[in-house]
Amino acid sequence: MGKQEFTISIFSEDHIGILNQITIILTRRQINIESITASESAVKGVQLLTLVVKTSSEMVRKVAKQMEKLVDVLKVFVHSSDEIIYQEIALYKVKTNGLMSGDIIDNIVRNYHAKILVISPEYTVIEKTGHKGEINDLLNRLEPYGVLQFTRSGRVSVTKQVKELNAYLTEMDEANRDNNREMESYKKN
């Protein structure tokens, strides 16, 4: 089986050490993290870790099951790139003098759907939101003008599926309540 790119969305309680536990699972399976983003989720008190990995579909399913067994993890979702809507953000710090001759900066910003954040006599900071390939294309375009710094975020994504985490959490609560009722009934008998 060939490797392909997967986005793993991990919803967890906000406790120290969860990222360490997750990286241990991936390290044991020799899976490298291509991108990582941590943020709040739409559910209060629930954190979202978004990881991008390249591996086989069988392996990503195995590690997702292992991650779901962690105490603080509420739910893990695995998606291929066509099942999600995603973006990354990049910042480029470029020497100003080369960019300001003619209409170079205007053409670059328009053609790459980028945005200028700062212009100073020494440098210009450009922001680009998009997929990794688009971000790298702009980096290659800017290199002749003197890229001083470059940084790219991890992936942020939302799923195309309709069922959201809230629905899964509600289902889990209902299942737990049903289990508790059964246990109480069993104890009474």
Using DSSP's 3-state secondary structure scheme, residue 105 falls into helix
Q: Does the CA dihedral 79-82-85-86 come out positive or negative? A: positive
The pLDDT value given to residue 162: 60
The pLDDT value given to residue 97: 87
Phi, psi of 58 (to 5 degrees): -65, -45
The pLDDT value given to residue 99: 79
- Report the DSSP beta bridge partners of residue 128: 90
Measured CA to CA, the distance from residue 183 to residue 165 in angstroms comes to 27
**Structure tokens of 79?**
């998606």
Q: Which of 159, 129, 155, 156 shows the shortest CA–CA distance to 35?
A: 155
Phi, psi of 11 (to 5 degrees): -100, 125
Local confidence pLDDT in tens for the 189 residues of the chain: 589 999 999 999 988 899 999 999 999 999 999 999 999 888 888 899 999 999 999 999 999 999 999 989 999 999 998 899 999 999 999 999 877 777 888 888 899 999 999 999 999 999 999 999 999 999 999 999 999 999 999 999 888 776 666 666 666 666 666 666 666 766 666
- What is the residue whose two structure tokens read 């699972």? 25
Phi, psi of 97 (to 5 degrees): -55, -40
* Domains in the chain with CATH codes: 85-152 (3.30.70.1150)
